[in-house]
Homo-oligomer: A and B are copies of this chain.
Amino acid sequence: MASVFGENIKISIFGESHGPAIGVVVEGFDAGFKVDTEKLQEFMSLRAPGGKMSTKRKEADQVKFLAGIKDDVICGSTFSAIIENTDCRSGDYSNLYDVPRPGHADYTAQMKYGGSQDVRGGGHFSGRLTAPLCIAGGIARQILEKKGIEIYARIKCIGKENDPAPTKYPELCEMKKIDARFPVYNADAAERFEKVVEDARMDGDSLGGVIECAVFGVPTGLGGPLFDGIEGRISQAVFGIPAVKGVEFGSGFGGSQMYGSENNDGFYYDENGLVKTYTNNHGGILGGISSGMPIYFNVAFKPTPSIAKVQDSISLKQKENTKLEIKGRHDPCVVLRAVPCVISAAALSIYDLIKD
């Protein structure tokens, strides 16, 4: 078991899509830090349902602190925050114990929990559980920002459409310009992304995509060798986001096709006497340890498994093959809403590393 994330900070997420509330318990965040709750709520809204690419479910995702934060200031030991579920229509999901949806956790959860899992809306496996992740991650990002560490992410591609970047690895000045509400470099990319998603939705289908994340201002010397490497730590957080199926750092899979002489990043002293590398194919991490260069990684999201098209499935009760037509409200593409989730995973990982 390992649903608690973190070595030095601890995050426990709880809740189901259609239960009374979802929430998070957090330990180890800096006592005395004053949370900018307005900024947090704004960050949460990037993940909240609404907009063309999203489910029709309406949730304000209003964060309510239960404990450990007084007058917006972190008291010191443990804090807890919840979001009450409001717009649940559980009637839509009654069939799922019997006929599991392809690409979902219905079948595997059934096997693991013997039918005791709350299946409504995906239960504990719902993308909705990323809301508590974003509470913890959003606060961690605020704390990191005060320490000079800034995290940005953008949509790199959706389906086969992509948004070409001005440089191979994103620069802080470029990423700061990006509109957080639809984080792409080029205005036409937003349009193209919206169009392919809308086309998929109209066709009863869905799309996935890739999010690129960059962490600027990371001190040198975080992380460590072997199982203590930054890549492993960030991965564990990132794979905590439902629908993630791949992660790569720096040149990643592309780098595996390069020669060493191309992929190696030569060192130099910059004009301020700081050690830099000419390129950043190592994605800011060498030997599992931060080099001081920005940390870059890409995250692959599979297409939303809930689609309107008829699919092959089985009836667990009848023990026979059957067809399934999914009803309910679903995102044709989670990638846009997943951006704050990836940022949160990065923020929590880096914050955890800094506390080493």
In the complex with contacts A3-B225, A289-B109, A312-B266, A304-B260 CB distance below 8 A: yes
Assess whether A240 is interfacial by the CB under 8 Å rule.
Answer: yes
B290:A108 contact, CB within 8 angstroms: yes
- Selected from B107, B118, B300, B321, the residue in CB contact (under 8 A) with A252 is B300
Assess whether A160 is interfacial by the CB under 8 Å rule.
Answer: yes
CA distance A25 to B247 in the complex (A): 29
Residues of B within 8 A of A281 (CB): 302
Instruction: Give residues of chain A (1-57) contacting chain B, Cβ–Cβ below 8 Å.
Output: 1-5, 7-16, 19-23, 25, 27-28, 31-32
Query: Least Cβ distance of A277 to chain B in Å?
Result: 7
Residues of B within 8 A of A109 (CB): 76, 225, 287, 289
In the complex with contacts A1-B7, A112-B221, A287-B105, A78-B12 CB distance below 8 A: yes
CA distance A206 to B258 in the complex (A): 9
A266:B25 contact, CB within 8 angstroms: no
Interface size on A, residues (CB 8 A): 149
In the complex with contacts A260-B207, A267-B102, A289-B67 CB distance below 8 A: no
A246:B253 contact, CB within 8 angstroms: yes
A320:B269 contact, CB within 8 angstroms: yes
Instruction: Give residues of chain A (219-265) contacting chain B, Cβ–Cβ below 8 Å.
Output: 220-229, 231-233, 235-240, 242, 244-253, 255-265
Assess whether A212 is interfacial by the CB under 8 Å rule.
Answer: no
CA distance A258 to B302 in the complex (A): 8
A245:B235 contact, CB within 8 angstroms: no
Copies of this chain, tallied across the complex: 4
A25:B25 contact, CB within 8 angstroms: yes
Query: Least Cβ distance of A283 to chain B in Å?
Result: 7
Assess whether A208 is interfacial by the CB under 8 Å rule.
Answer: yes
Q: Which residue of chain B lies nearest to A21 when distances are taken between CB atoms in the complex?
A: B66
B4:A314 contact, CB within 8 angstroms: no
- Spell out A's residues near B (CB within 8 Å): 1-5, 7-16, 19-23, 25, 27-28, 31-32, 64-68, 70, 73-80, 82, 100, 102-105, 107-109, 111-118, 123-125, 129, 157, 159-160, 200, 204-210, 220-229, 231-233, 235-240, 242, 244-253, 255-269, 273, 275, 277-278, 281-283, 285-292, 298, 300-307, 309, 311-314, 319-321, 356
